[in-house]
Amino acid sequence: MSSVLFDIPGPKARARHRLIMIVSAVLTLLALAWAISRFAAKGNLEAAKWTPFLTGDIWVNYLIPGLINTLKAAAISVVLAGAFGLLFGIGRLSDNAAIRWISTVIVEFFRSVPVLVMMVAAFGLFSFNRVFEASINPLAAVITGLTLYNGSVVAELLRSGVGGLPSGQSEAGLAIGLTRSQTLRSILLPQAITAMLPALVSQLVVILKDTALGAIITYPELLTTFSQIGSYKSNPVPALIVIALIFIAINYLLTSAAAKIEARLRDKGRATIAKGTIGPPNRVDLEPVEEALIAADESVLHERYRTPDK
Amino acid sequence: MGELFSQYNVLGAFGITIVLTVLSALGALVIGTVVAIMRVSPVGFLNKLGALYVNLVRNTPLTLIIVFCNIGFIVNLGMSVSDDFARNNLVWATIGLAFYHAAFVCEALRSGVNTVPAGQAEAARSIGLTFGQSLREVLLPQAFRGAITPLGNTLIALTKNTTVATAIGVAEVAGLMKTMQEDRPDLMVPIFLVVAIGFVILTLPIGLVTTHLSQKLAVKR
Amino acid sequence: MKFGRISVMAVAATAALGLAACGGGTSGGSGGGSGSVKVGIKFDQPGLGLKAGADYTGMDVDLAKYIAKELGYAGTEFVEAVSAQRETLISTDQVKYIVGTYSITDARKEKVSFAGPYFIAGQDLLVRADDTTITGVDSLAGKKLCSVKGSTSATNVQKKVPGVNLQEYNTYTLCVDALKAGNVDALTTDDTILAGYAAQEANKGKLKVVGKTFSTENYGVGLKKGDVEFCKKVTDAITKYISSGEWQKAVDKNLGPAGYKPGAGNPPTPAACS
């Protein structure tokens, strides 16, 4: 799309762009060099602080167990959030006003309370009422917080996914004699879920990142290992950087996967709702709902994505 | 419930939450706009730099970013703004929140730019506006209006994410909630309700206002 | 066909749910057995309680293992007990007892019970080796201080030096790093912990313990409030630990390399349980 915004640069513009590039590159490099020199001055580039990460010890005893806990919490939360979202998403589409209202209140409430607050509350509630076996309380609290928030997001996605379908779809269903719930189940939902797929995968990134909040309520996930490694090898800063890189790598893979799925669906001529940009791939948002809402709200955007020839 | 308010400075903690929200929202808007311009600019290098920034920041847990603001910028880079730790951490938490959400503001704006029909950009170019002029006069004003819903959602997310500042000892609501819970396990449910309703009160108007604005300001096409 | 896809998804979701439940069940089940006991220790305090690769080392770890053996448990399973979460860990049954530089205080006694003391330490200051301006708690005015959230050291120093400029982290290792980087001037906590950090390879010659304690910290074994019977058993184990000479051995082995000598009153006599 960039080509729409500016003319193909001529010789003068190219020279100017080159100048801008060189200046900004030099500035970036200077800032980086300064930062690195400061880190070096504080002794954080010493080989002794980084070599532990080349040994199996740190990986086997700290990073990998932490990562497994992180993935475990994320995986369980995804499944539960999917179920929660399906339940209340359908609830919000219900004919029954009472069900619709209750679902709306639940979804809106859990969308506006911070995940961390829900985790802390769930942890306290579970611990002092002995809801679960003591040792799984932290995990249960992490999952509860993630499920309630992300489940609400999924419910919203589902609602806007169904809302974004052409009205002809449900009209056709009703015309051939299906009941409303049959239409919803066998015509609208399958299409909405397919359309949601990229947004769902990108929601995984949100979940994975938010498991790091579990550190605050004693859940031994990846981020908590940094103080242990830091004390063991006197290298908290390198430990933090390595952990950040692990998070970034995994999330980047997920983000790319979401973009691939979206591209594939679009090739097949299906509408996807995690959109809003015609830009390059790899774009996934914190709140895929945002896009979903624009998609629903602004038919302009929508028409863009409907392949006209099919 | 009145007991909680008299015993703990609940309103003060929410005050800090609001200060964090407002300041980092402004910061995120400025930084996000700059990055968005970089990402649509004709200079390939700036384009890539912006993409790198968005991809790095968006894929890192916020807790990590906030902690890194303290030990990276304050301790290692020596960029203290105040000798008083409480103030220093508040400022750096604000900066961390601003930089984190700037990535989402950038994406929201890009999606806003995409709602502007190509004809607008072409028209701007054909009457001889430069890249900067066409962004300033034609595209960005429309993009902001088209991006109100995602921007509002980012603001809601930011309001909730200020709770993460507790990781470096900023005295906001989530930290207070934990203290209250440890002191008064008997008041578990009221404590949660006070905090949760507080956040609903903070975020609900944002949602309502943005929905209203996005309808009112939508560019009719 | 579309019907099919939805049912497949539903089945997958249910299956995963079932698996999740199973996973949770097994991990919880192992804690309930009489085989091994869950003990809370510090994972980040060299010389006292440190996770060193697959092993755990330190004076507290040795005592924790000894108590488990005396009480007839087959083994120990260590759980990290961060300062701010120790009471929660005990009151929510995540651990049976905690040996983690846990000072006996009246405030804590309201939430947990203690067996011991098994060691007497004192709050001290860790400063950069070339710093001569800080000689004790009286010279802290206008200095930048670091400590850990939820520790007695933080509360104590705030009482001794009102309005002190205090940075609180979740872990001492960040304090040590900030101290070496010059971002704080002193780290305050128990002299035992400070000695452990000062003796670490990366800190040798860079940091020193001031050596003027300004409090008395009686380390106890934290356990469930009101469980007098269990408390008595643990107290007996501690008494035997001290009288058999194991105590001295553990102190020499873990704190000796740091050049740390236990202060007056050590080894203490454990108090009776109430």
Q: What is the pLDDT of residues C2-29, one digit of tens each?
A: 444 444 444 444 444 444 443 333 333 3
Got the DSSP string for B121-157?
Answer: HHHHHHTT--HHHHIIIIIHHHHHHHTHHHHHHHHHH
Residue of chain A minimizing CA distance to B195: A117
Residue A46 lies in a domain: no
Nearest-angstrom CA–CA distance, C17 and C11: 10
Residue A59 lies in a domain: yes
Does A232 lie in the same domain as A203? yes
B34 falls in which pLDDT band (50, 70, 90)?
very high
C52 interface with A at CB cutoff 8 Å: yes
Task: Please state whether beta strands C217-224 and C186-190 pair in parallel, antiparallel, or not at all (unpaired).
Answer: unpaired
Q: How many domains does chain A have?
A: 2
pLDDT given for residue B35 in this prediction:
94
Residues of B in contact with A287 (CB under 8 A): 104, 150, 153-154, 156-157
Q: How many domains does chain B have?
A: 1
Residue A310 lies in a domain: no
Burial of A45 (0-12, 13-18, 19+ CB in 10 A): middle
Contact at 8 Å (CB) between B133 and B124?
A: yes
Looking up tokens 């080159």 gives A18
The CATH number assigned to the domain holding A177 equals 1.10.3720.10
Contact at 8 Å (CB) between A201 and A39?
A: no
CA dihedral B170, B172, B177, B182 (to 10 degrees): 30
Distance of residue C63 Cα from the nearest chain A Cα, in angstroms: 20
pLDDT given for residue A278 in this prediction:
31
pLDDT given for residue C71 in this prediction:
86
Closest to B36 measured CA to CA, from B107, B96, B117, B100: B107
Does A33 lie in the same domain as A157? no
Strands (E) located in C12-164: 36-41, 44-45, 49-52, 55-57, 75-80, 97-98, 112-121, 123-128, 144-148
Closest to B104 measured CA to CA, from C64, A2, A291: A291
Closest to A208 measured CA to CA, from A74, A40, A99, A26: A74
Number of H helices and E strands in chain A, helices first, is 15, 0
**Minimum-distance CB partner of C202 among A48, A82, A137:** A48
Give the phi and the psi of residue C262 in degrees, each rounded to 5. -60, 140
Does A57 lie in the same domain as A26? no
Give the phi and the psi of residue B61 in degrees, each rounded to 5. -60, 140
Per-residue pLDDT for C108 more than 60?
A: yes
Give me the sign of the Cα torsion angle B168, B171, B177, B183.
positive
Does A211 lie in the same domain as A89? yes
DSSP C259: T
Contact at 8 Å (CB) between C81 and C148?
A: no
A121 interface with B at CB cutoff 8 Å: yes
User: Over pLDDT 70: what percentage of chain A?
Assistant: 84
Nearest-angstrom CA–CA distance, A200 and A202: 5
Nearest-angstrom CA–CA distance, A61 and B133: 57
C162 interface with A at CB cutoff 8 Å: no
Distance of residue C241 Cα from the nearest chain A Cα, in angstroms: 27
Find which of A77, A129, A135 to mutate to test the C interface (most C CBs within 10 Å of its CB). A135
Residue A80 lies in a domain: yes
Residues of B in contact with C169 (CB under 8 A): 168-169
Contact at 8 Å (CB) between B33 and B64?
A: no
Q: What is the mean pLDDT of residues A153-173?
A: 84
Per-residue pLDDT for B175 more than 70?
A: yes
Nearest-angstrom CA–CA distance, A209 and C157: 36
User: Over pLDDT 90: what percentage of chain A?
Assistant: 22
B57 falls in which pLDDT band (50, 70, 90)?
very high
Does A117 lie in the same domain as A14? no
Residue B174 identity (one-letter amino acid): A
Nearest-angstrom CA–CA distance, B99 and B31: 7
pLDDT digits (tens, 9 = 90+) for B78-107: 787 777 888 888 999 999 999 999 999 998
CA dihedral A236, A241, A244, A249 (to 10 degrees): -140
Does A108 lie in the same domain as A140? yes
- Contacts of B213-221 with C-beta under 8 Å, sequence gap 24+, read B213/B148, B213/B152, B214/A297, B214/B145, B214/B148, B214/B149, B214/B152, B215/A297, B217/B145, B217/B148, B218/A297, B218/A298, B218/B145, B218/B146, B219/B115, B219/B116, B219/B142, B219/B145, B219/B146, B221/A300, B221/B117
Considering only residues 13 to 72 of chain A, which have any Cβ-Cβ distance to chain C shorter than 8 Å? 42-43, 48-49, 57-58, 60-62, 72
Q: What is the mean pLDDT of residues C261-267?
A: 79
Q: What is the mean pLDDT of residues A290-299?
A: 52
Does A155 lie in the same domain as A229? yes
Give me the sign of the Cα torsion angle A57, A58, A59, A65.
positive
CA dist list (Å): A96 to A91, A103, B75? 9, 11, 58
pLDDT digits (tens, 9 = 90+) for C167-185: 888 778 888 888 988 888 9
Q: Which helix (H) or strand (E) holds C193?
A: helix C191-198
Considering only residues 179 to 198 of chain B, which have any Cβ-Cβ distance to chain A shorter than 8 Å? 181, 185, 188-189, 191-192, 195-196
pLDDT digits (tens, 9 = 90+) for C182-232: 888 999 988 888 888 888 888 888 888 888 888 888 888 999 888 888 888
Does A114 lie in the same domain as A10? no
Give the phi and the psi of residue A197 in degrees, each rounded to 5. -50, -50
Domains observed in chain C:
34-120+218-258 (3.40.190.10), 123-209 (3.40.190.10)
Domain holding B167, by residue range, is: 2-217
Nearest-angstrom CA–CA distance, A2 and B41: 7
Neighbour subunits, A (≥3 Cβ pairs < 8 A): B, C
Question: How many C-beta atoms lie closer than 10 Å to residue C117's C-beta?
Answer: 24
Closest to B100 measured CA to CA, from B143, B140, B47, B64: B64
The CATH number assigned to the domain holding B189 equals 1.10.3720.10
pLDDT digits (tens, 9 = 90+) for B122-166: 898 889 888 888 888 888 888 888 888 888 889 999 999 999 898
Q: What is the mean pLDDT of residues A64-73?
A: 92
pLDDT digits (tens, 9 = 90+) for A78-97: 999 989 999 999 898 888 89
Contact at 8 Å (CB) between B113 and B35?
A: no
Residue A221 lies in a domain: yes
3-state secondary structure of A266: helix
Does A29 lie in the same domain as A155? no
Q: Which position has the higher pLDDT, A150 or A95?
A: A150
Does A98 lie in the same domain as A170? yes
Helices (H), A93-188: 97-112, 115-129, 137-163, 167-175, 180-183
Residue C9 identity (one-letter amino acid): M
Does A149 lie in the same domain as A94? yes
Domain holding A36, by residue range, is: 2-41
Contact at 8 Å (CB) between A28 and B49?
A: yes
Per-residue pLDDT for C35 more than 70?
A: yes
Beta bridge partners of C50: C44, C57
